[in-house]
């Protein structure tokens, strides 16, 4: 974990130690952190936060294609530039190699999230319900087919 993330987690722990309501929303914790001067932005942090919010906004922007499907307008891909991997953004008219890289990157993100969820559930089940562990199916083929059929029905 990065040093900055460790500092953020320390803020959460201090928030809890101070006897504040728990469970809590991230806004509650942030409000406490700012009020107690535990969080101040440097110029670099402001740029990073702005970039993160711009990236989030681009990732959420959708347009309708010719078939009326809602599709993302912007795509991110890790590309090699001057010998380093950097994240670049392009729109829905990106060149095919860029879109292939963006798709592979997103697939890997989804895989990583599934792997983390599996670890979380396995750990939870081993600790708290070993005789009836939480079961999770990570094969999405049926789900994708059902969503495709719903999309086709809505377009008809």
State pTM to two decimals: 0.68
Taking only the tens place, the pLDDT of each residue in 51-81 is 999 999 999 999 999 988 899 999 999 988 8
Residues listed for the chain: 156
Place of tokens 């681009």: 58
Tell me the pLDDT tens digit for each residue of 117-154.
Answer: 999 999 999 999 999 999 999 999 999 999 988 877 77
């Amino acid at each position: 974990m990065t040093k900055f993330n460790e500092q953020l987690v320390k803020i959460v722990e201090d928030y809890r130690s101070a006897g504040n309501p728990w469970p809590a929303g991230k806004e509650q914790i942030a409000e406490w952190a700012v009020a107690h001067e535990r969080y101040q932005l440097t110029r670099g942090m402001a740029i990073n936060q702005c970039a993160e919010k711009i990236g989030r906004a681009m990732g959420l922007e959708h347009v309708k294609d010719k078939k009326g499907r809602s599709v993302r307008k912007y795509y991110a891909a890790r590309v090699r530039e001057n010998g380093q991997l950097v994240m670049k953004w392009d729109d829905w008219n990106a060149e095919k190699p860029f879109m292939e890289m963006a798709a592979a990157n997103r697939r890997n993100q989804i895989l990583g999230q599934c792997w983390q969820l599996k670890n979380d559930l396995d750990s939870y089940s081993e600790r708290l319900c070993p005789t009836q562990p939480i079961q999770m199916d990570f094969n999405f083929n049926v789900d994708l087919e059902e969503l495709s059929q719903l999309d086709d029905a809505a377009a008809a």
